Amino acid sequence: MNARNPLNIGAAARAMSNFGFSRLRVVNPFEVAFQEARSAVGAAEYLARAEQYATVAEAVADCALVVGTTAVRHRDLRHVLKPLEEGGALIRERMQSGRRYSENVALLFGSEKFGLSNEDFSHCHWLIRIRTDDEHISMNLGQAVAVCLYEVARSDADEVKTQHQAAQHVEDGANATAEEVERITQMLFEALQLSGYVKPRTEGSTEEKVRRLIRRLSLQSKDAVAWQGMLHRMVLKLRRNAKK
């Protein structure tokens, strides 16, 4: 809507490409800004396909749901205003394939300076707002677009967790076994003895302390070998020096 800054149009297009949205419609842009954005390096693909409209009504004509965006909470809104977390989930649901009817959804952004007008709002079914700090409610247009599209494309945290749990397990790795942990404990304790850290009088309690310290590290199995390798080398060096 009336975007003035070519960088912002380009930024909106870039965020769309990042989150897999493809149809950018520009309403009544400042001609110069639009042409400049179109010819920006790297913007080619998405902006070249951007459609230009003279009015909001024409731009959203084939959409079954039109959602406006606003930074303001209390501008005498006659629309239902939902936080993005909630509105984004509703949009996601409406766009989901697998529904009986696939629907076009329009997400409407205003100009950098004035946002959407009441006339623009009147084309919307409801509005969303990104919840921001009370003192700094005005977001950069390109950033606002990115945040909204991220939320619409977002998966439930639960969903993501399920998807990634298998992979995480492999990466996170199993914890080291008690046997591995104890071997590491013994190597560290020998290194400490050879270094003069362990005093004969308190040998028993020092060993316990070292054992507790190691247990608190939640060592992973895949790392246990590396730790043994490092400690082994230190112990060998300290032993050799002790013999000199």
**Considering the complex, what minimum distance in angstroms separates the CB of residue 40 from a second copy?**
12
Measured CA to CA, the distance from residue 10 to residue 47 in angstroms comes to 7
Q: Which residue type occupies 115?
A: G
d(CA 33, CA 205): 74
Residue of 41, 54, 157, 178 that binds a second copy (CB under 8 A): 157
Which is closer to a second copy, CB of 59 or CB of 70?
A: 70
For a second copy, which stretch binds (CB under 8 A), given 24-32, 102-110, 116-124, 218-226?
A: 218-226
The minimum distance between CB 54 and a second copy, in angstroms, equals 29
Binding mask 50-89 toward a second copy (x if CB under 8 A, else -) reads ------------------------------xxxxxxx--x
Q: In this chain, which stretch among 31-39, 102-110, 114-122, 156-164 interacts with a second copy, using CB under 8 A?
A: 156-164
Judged by CB, which is closer to a second copy: 37, or 59? Answer: 37
Quickly count: other Cβ atoms within 10 Å of residue 121's Cβ: 21
**Is position 110 an interface residue for a second copy (rule: CB under 8 A)?**
no
Which residue lies nearer to a second copy by CB, 7 or 72?
7
Please give the Cα distance from 183 to 161 (Å, whole number).
Answer: 34
Q: Interacting stretch for a second copy, rule CB under 8 A, among 50-58, 96-104, 108-116, 133-141?
A: 133-141
- State in angstroms the smallest separation of the CB of 2 from a second copy: 20
Considering only 57-65, 98-106, 146-154, 176-184, which stretch makes contact with a second copy by CB under 8 A?
146-154
Spatial separation of the C-alpha atoms in residues 83 and 40, rounded to whole Å: 33
CA distance 217 to 22: 48
Closest contact distance (angstroms) between CB of 58 and a second copy is 26
Among 118, 177, 217, 221, binds a second copy (CB under 8 A): 217
Residue 36 CA to residue 86 CA, distance in Å, equals 35
Q: What's 154-177 look like in SS3?
A: CCCHHHHHHHHHHHHHHHHCCECC
Residues 6+ apart with CB under 8 A from 110: 1, 2, 69, 70, 116, 117, 120
Task: Name the DSSP class of 217.
Answer: T
68: three-class secondary structure by DSSP: strand
Candidates 25-33, 54-62, 103-111, 139-147: pick the segment binding a second copy (CB under 8 A).
Answer: 139-147
